[in-house]
Chains A and B, each alone.
Chain A
């Protein structure tokens, strides 16, 4: 009797499960799947040759190069900042800590348009430093430095935000032990802290880089849209789109989409490594203890 009820129940449960799974997948299909597929369809439906030639024009190449350059400057700077901020927040107790945390988070919730606007207000000709910069022949906005600054702003919290919880969770016992055993601060950081946080760090860098390469709103305000000079890939997508050149726009968009997919793969790999990365460092401290004594 009870077995029968159990069986009937489990069939019902399974049906409910399937319905839930179907609903969730359908939702994801409409909101993620179709847009993803459509990018590649629009990019390729005029043929592979059109696709290739859209990506090798001088403007396209310079857009790709510029995007790499901007990310190449912004990401390392935010990486250094992220480590410093995480060390500060996860390792010390001080007054004003929560305020500092909120300020670090601020760029996350500021509209990208404002991120661009503030630099125009400072470095623009009508801004605070503009006339001085003009007289000294320094271009900040409507040039690469402006793009870099806006990108740093929008990707500011990524690394710090990933590292802080990781470092808090690990705790400082291992570092303290290493220091008491006579290691210098730098040694401790390089040989104890860094191996512990490397996956968290990588994770933060991956996210930071994805956003840096894909930012649109903020760089749009400070770019000036000079073809071949200050157009990053996302801005180039917009320009091509506005030139009726839809296949080329989507070709460029598909490159960005591939970058996004690569980001997701890298991220999943790191997450997967992340899970069993703990413990290794404990072993490391143990061996170091032996070496020093």
Chain B
């Protein structure tokens, strides 16, 4: 009996292995965050074609999507990602610190701090902007219902929160109590806190909840394109944050899979002109000047602050605001 059981478990393991093997094909796993689904679907096909032309080998890239923090947790727990493409640097830092699967200086491995594209945070409102939402001030007013995901699990939600904080900080000249009051008022207006950016978009667009969605710029464009042509409008606030979603090769995993080279090429191709074209097509702001110029009129001009300048870097921002006992918890606790 024992032997039989062990045999069956072993055979299950072997079968699982067989899934991954796939004769003569290179398999990559890209663990990413919520709103990049459509981007990587197209990019993976383009890269496979490019790589086939260059080396003759067939690459298939599998995708896993979810809230950025949650995805990082899975990689730390052993989700065998060859590359990670997450919403913010802190989540990849966490992987480096807690699992040593990649070096601590991972951000130096690729150009521009390993962020091949940027984005920002904008508002999505319903047709005609019935609540006249123009800027962050309007979100903290009573009677306005705001949709944003949970900063504890979602990367986008953390950008949203910091963008609001940075705005208030400027407005109140850094008066901590007033800033905190402003952000508290804003979050009092949030009726639903989804675990990922995609969940929030669904809540706002499909279920018709809320007056305004604080959203990734690319996600807002996508929502209009896919779901609400004519029903939704994008509002650009006076100031927002420069969101830099980073990418990295998970070196130890890739080494074990023998995919180090192709994994690196996969990320580097994102910086190339065709890669940047795809990026721009999916409403991310391209890094490459030529492509950026071509799509310049597509993106609203917003004054952008960076996490480094406004918050002293991600590590500090995470600790002050989002760790247990941070400002976000303090803001949420008293409300009943």
Determine direct contact between A and B, CB below 8 Å. yes
Where the two chains meet, the residues of A that have a C-beta atom closer than 8 Å to any C-beta of B are: 69, 73, 77, 80, 84, 120, 123-127, 130, 133-134, 137-145, 148, 224-229, 239, 241-244, 246
Distance between Cα atoms of A84 and B74 in the complex (Å)? 36
**Could you list 10 A-B pairs, sorted by A, with CB under 8 Å?**
A77-B8, A80-B1, A124-B78, A134-B78, A144-B19, A145-B12, A229-B20, A239-B65, A244-B202, A244-B205
Is A143 within 8 A of B65, CB to CB? no
Beta-carbon contacts of B8-27 to A below 8 Å, as 1s and 0s? 11001101110110000000
Query: How many interface residues does B have (CB within 8 Å)?
Result: 37
B46 close to A (CB within 8 Å): no
Is A244 within 8 A of B78, CB to CB? no
State which of B1, B66, B74, B205 has its C-beta within 8 Å of the C-beta of A142. B74
Is B66 within 8 A of A73, CB to CB? no
Contacts of A145 in B (CB 8 A): 9, 12-13, 16
Beta-carbon contacts of B89-114 to A below 8 Å, as 1s and 0s? 00000000011000000000000000
Distance between Cα atoms of A127 and B98 in the complex (Å)? 12
Is B5 within 8 A of A77, CB to CB? yes
Is B206 within 8 A of A244, CB to CB? yes
State which of A134, A142, A144 has its C-beta within 8 Å of the C-beta of B12. A144
Main secondary structure of the interface of B (DSSP, over half): helix
Determine how close the nearest CB of chain B comes to the CB of A67; give it in whole angstroms: 14
Distance between Cα atoms of A10 and B8 in the complex (Å)? 63
State which of A120, A225, A242 has its C-beta within 8 Å of the C-beta of B77. A120
State which of A133, A140, A242 has its C-beta within 8 Å of the C-beta of B196. A242
User: 12 additional contacts, CB 8 Å, given A139-B78, A142-B74?
Assistant: A69-B15, A73-B8, A125-B76, A125-B99, A134-B78, A140-B13, A144-B12, A144-B15, A225-B64, A226-B63, A226-B64, A242-B199
> Which residues in window 262-307 of B have CB below 8 A to A?
none
Contacts of A226 in B (CB 8 A): 29, 62-64, 79
Contacts of B202 in A (CB 8 A): 241-242, 244
State which of A69, A123, A142 has its C-beta within 8 Å of the C-beta of B80. A142
B37 close to A (CB within 8 Å): yes
Determine how close the nearest CB of chain B comes to the CB of A213; give it in whole angstroms: 17
Distance between Cα atoms of A241 and B37 in the complex (Å)? 13
What is the chain B residue whose CB lies nearest that of A120? B77
What is the chain A residue whose CB lies nearest that of B63? A227
User: Across chains A and B, which 3 residue pairs bring their CB atoms closest together, nearest first?
Assistant: A124-B77, A144-B16, A125-B78
Is A229 within 8 A of B12, CB to CB? no
Distance between Cα atoms of A141 and B226 in the complex (Å)? 34
